[in-house]
Structure 1
Amino acid sequence: MKKFDSSDQTIFNYDEIVKKLNNSPDLKLRELNSKDNTLQIIFLNNLVETEYLNTHIIEYLTQLPSQQIHFQYISENIPIEEVKVAKEINEVTSLLIKGYAYLFFSSEQKGILVNTAETTERALEKAETESLVYGPKLSFTESLSTNIKIVRRNINDHNLCTEEVVVGNRVKQKVRIVYIKDVANSEDVETIRQRLNEIEIDDIMDSSVLAQILDDNSYSFFPQYVMTELPDRFVYSITKGKIGILVDRSPISIICPSTFFSFFESTEDIYLRWFLSSTLRLLRIFAMISSIFFSAFYVAAVTYQYELIPSSLLLNIGQSRAKVPFPPLLETLILEFMMELLREAGARLPSKVGQTMGIVGGIVLGQAVVQAGLTSNILIIIISLSALGSFASPSYEMGTALRILRFPMILLAGAWGFNGIMIGVCILLIHLLKLTSLGRPFLSPLYPLRIEDLKYAFFRLPQHFYRNRATSNRPIDKQRLSWKTSNKEDLDDI
């Protein structure tokens, strides 16, 4: 039985709480009078679960003998899981806003807070932003407790740690650090713990906001942490030795440290056979490269190095551009801008209307600009392929970053041709080489070169090649698979 020491407790009555909450009309008071004591039940009526409050508190208290209605007995015997004693008025009002009820014993001038919050959360549904053919379709929700339950159901290991950190000065937000104690690198755990404790901000609106605060380089337009709403991807990363972060009120989880190649991995690669997974992963990487450079190559070749184009194709390009009044640079920028405009409009409109807008708008505008002589047919094909390449990334953030990266590459190609593209490539490589994620190299395993980890980044091999976890994560327990092959006996006589 828990003993509550209220000797140094500050006294808070109803009038003080009303004043602190600026005379909120939602603040309600229910009084229960007995011979020796008067009990005030203070709560915000739109934040508590009314049935729970009536059943477990009011009905319970009305059935007690009058001599038992006092601070010590109620605080130790009330059938509520969470019971707290607050010592500051700010703590009382903060818990009231979270759905707690304040039980104040006016004769004893003491009070306790009990959790009666109404849990409003959506049911477990299929993931919207990350689609899979194979594997579980379940996604995280906005409830932190539900997300922790999903993780524990998938990792039934007693070494699974879920540390809670409260972030936010005005609006307190619960954040959980999730890792396996004997697998995750202790330095990485301490780094993320220290960064979270050092955050000074009024409110963390979402896990995506938290990821931006935790970034090693806030000025880079490359995301440095993988964000996913898929529990299986989150769990798989945790078992590999990475650290996960879950934020209350957010269905998106954070995985760190991450590498550049982590954004082109999909959990579907695990469920498919190794040859298919390797082909698809290499296809994504090729699509990424095409997305960045395809349009820029067109501008550079048509403007400066047209001798690199085969003569038959150059003739077709010349005929297609005969009526186009703009130079290749301006022509490409106009089409890229139109493509981004269609994508943004389709994303902001309701789902059914957005799909129609994207398909019809793309077809109608594409045909109209060609007939009007504003662009060529070949450039429309190139722009479409570039757009498809950026959507091949499983990460929405990385796909968006690649689409934005096309514009400076096009400008450099229009200014200096292929020399300008090489300048852009050099700047991009220097930036990626300097970039880190939780202090770890972002281009690992290419830099620093770890040949044994290449099978985790670029392709997949049969399972017996993955006896150890990737050294890039620096796990404590390096072995993940013990593969024993049995010797086949000669069975010719059977």
Structure 2
Amino acid sequence: MFNNEIFRQAIKSVDFLQFHPVDESKPLQISYYSCLVDAEKVNQYLLPGIQENIDRLGQLSDIKGFIPFDEVTVIADTVEVVDKLMKGYVIIQFEGDDLHYLLVNVNHASMGHRKSNETENEFSVIGPKVGFVENIEVNIHLMRQQINTPALILEQITVGALSNTKVVLAYIDGVTNPRHIETMRQRLQAIDFDVVFDSSQLTQIIADHTKTPFPLLVTTERVDRVIFAILSGQVAVLSDGSPYAITAPSTLLDFFVSAEDYYLPWILASFFRVIRIMGVIFSIIASPLYVSILTYHFEVIPESLLQPLINSRIHVPFPPVMEVIFLEITIELLREAGARLPSKIGQTLGIVGGIVIGQASVQAAFTSNILLIIVALSALASFTTPIFNMANTIRLLRFPFILLAAFWGGLGLIVGLVVLLGHLMRLKSLGMPYLVPFFPFRTGHTADSFIRLSYKHTANRSQFLKPLSKKRYTPDKESIEND
């Protein structure tokens, strides 16, 4: 008799196949999930190899010589048998032998995965366009192509009680601080979750703080961004089934750094980075400042702007805070609708809807022309951040600031900024302060912060990461005159 107790739950599924490869008179049984294996490999190579040599089989290990597969092993651990069965292995067993099982790897890893791996949410004009896909083996291959050294260590951890999702921890041996590696390893191993669908779930589970709207770990779909983070002394986490990787520990400035910054001349890259940061600040305080000034601080309005403001609001029956909230919610509704609809329809809705609703709101005296411009610019500025998670946080922060400005004017804005700064100072990413190198202040770490200096000045790794190797490369010290 065959030991089918280990397949007790599997036989209830319609996609689980269990049969004799020749006939029932031959004491051999094959078991596998049809949805996980490559049917072509099974039908053209595995079954013919067994059927043609069935009379020459004395024990399970003899099958290795008859089938053209590299990964063929005989094991006795029934727990591992079930685990491999769920990974796309074929299980072969002899009748009456409950101690030995032959495992053949014929999984169809590429089934259901998209072929294109171009970046969609972190696009850059200059530089590579290669991004991660949902297949972790492909993602590891893309990383190995860029880092051709055995020092790139990949540790596999299984996460999810029901999904048994393969998660890979990546770092550079001899560069990354062991403390960061051990901290990330412990947090991943301590996860007790049923199913892990995406890396974004892991970032929420392993984050240092859960009661914050700020993302504490960078999630990116760009291969080059992950490679740069690893080479800088950070650790990366890849999850099977997710096209995004996690890099940690992260700082606040990491969310405003674009991969394109390193492909442009440093003067242009620094200019765009400053514009990006200033745009985010403008996005947070522009609408609250409008509410604060028109509600409490008329005296700060220059005389040249006073008349246009009066003409713009003369027919608006609502207080400034109501018209600001109305427009902000309208912008959010348009953004959500555009994101959920098919791409071409979403683009049309965003453009046409924004123009029509904006113009109609002004003509109906729901809002003023000046506020419409301010809110539109704030919405645009919030999307200048390269990481989408931070853009969502920036959009959310505007609403509490608007309410503070409506209640207490300029004082409310100052209180909000102080509370926000205090909150940021308390945050940590993988045990490292979120505002480093500015809090705690670290001298000599501003070469790649608000601005990016030339490559001659960015050879050192960020010392607040405490890397084992401080130099990333040695700048060329030869002068042009010696060429």
TM-score by length of 1: 0.93
1:112 alignment counterpart: 102
Aligned length: 480
Does the 8 A contact of 1:36 with 1:107 survive in 2?
no
Which residue does 1:222 correspond to in 2? Answer: 214
CA deviation after TM superposition for structure 1 residue 448, in Å: 1.0
- In structure 2, the CA distance between the partners of 1:389 and 1:12, relative to structure 1 (3 Å rule), is farther
1:185 corresponds, among 163, 166, 177, to 177
Alpha-carbon distance in 2 for matches of 1:447, 1:375: 41
1:71–1:108: 8 Å Cα contact kept in structure 2?
no
Distance verdict in 2 for CA 1:356–1:488, change over 3 Å? closer
Correspondence for 2:389: 397
Question: Residue 151 in 1 paired to residue 143 in 2?
Answer: yes
Q: Deviations over 1:102-145 (max 9, x none)?
A: 11111434422222211212224321111101000111111101
**2:448 partner SS:** helix
Give secondary structure in 1 for the equivalent of 2:12: coil
Structure 2: gaps spanning 5 or more residues? none
1:78 positional shift? 4.8
8 Å CA contact 2:154, 2:169 repeated in 1: yes
Which residue matches 1:25?
Answer: 14
SS of alignment partner, residue 407 of structure 2: helix
2:442 pairs, out of 431, 443, 450, with 450
Report 1:26-425 matches (<5 A). Answer: 26-32=15-21, 38-64=27-53, 66-74=55-63, 78-84=67-73, 91-109=80-98, 110-119=100-109, 120=111, 121-425=113-417
CA–CA distance in 2 between the matches of 1:490 and 1:40? 75
CA–CA distance in 2 between the matches of 1:452 and 1:294? 33
Change in 2 beyond 3 A, CA 1:169/1:286: same
Secondary structure of the corresponding residue to residue 446 of structure 2: helix
The amino acid across from 1:111 in the alignment is Y
The answer to whether the Cα contact below 8 Å between 1:207 and 1:252 also exists between their aligned partners in 2 is yes
Instruction: Tell me if structure 2 keeps the 8 A contact 1:75–1:112.
Output: no
SS of residue matched to 1:455 = coil
Residues 282 and 459, structure 1, Cα contact 8 Å, conserved in 2: yes
Show the counterpart of 1:4.
none
> Matched residue of 2:134: which SS?
coil
1:481–1:293 Cα change, 3 Å: same
Q: Is the 8 A contact 1:37 1:69 kept in 2?
A: no
Between the aligned partners of 2:157 and 2:2, the Cα distance in structure 1 is: 27
CA distance in 2, matches of 1:438, 1:489: 47
1:435-474 equivalences in 2 (<5 Å) = 435-474=427-466
Residues 95 and 232 of structure 1: is their aligned pair in 2 closer, same or farther, counting only changes over 3 Å? same
Q: 1:487 to 1:371 in 2, by over 3 A?
A: closer
Q: Deviations over 1:324-357 (max 9, x none)?
A: 1100011100110000000000000100000000
State the distance in 1 between where 2:300 and 2:429 align: 40
Q: TM-score, normalised by structure 2?
A: 0.95
Q: Which amino acid aligns with 2:94?
A: F
How far apart are 1:489 and its partner, in Å? 6.8
1:146 and 1:65 map into 2 onto residues whose CA distance is: 37
1-structure distance, mates of 2:355, 2:479: 61
Query: Could you tell which deviates more after superposition, 89-98 or 193-202?
Result: 89-98
Q: Distance in 2 between matches of 1:285 and 1:56?
A: 59
Q: What are the superposed Cα offsets for residues 354-387 of structure 1, whole Å, 9 maximum, x if unpaired? A: 0000000000000001000110000000001110
SS at match of 2:167: strand
**CA RMSD, Structure 1 to Structure 2 (Å):** 2.1
2:382 and 2:394 in contact (8 A); partners too: yes
Identity percentage of aligned residues: 42
CA distance, structure 2, for counterparts of residue 24 and residue 328 of structure 1: 61
Q: Confirm or deny: 8 A CA contact 1:18 1:24 kept in the other structure.
A: no
CA distance in 2, matches of 1:382, 1:35: 78
1:169 Cα shift? Answer: 1.1
Conservation of the 8 A alpha-carbon contact between 1:163 and 1:176: yes
- In structure 2, the residue corresponding to 1:316 is in which secondary structure? helix
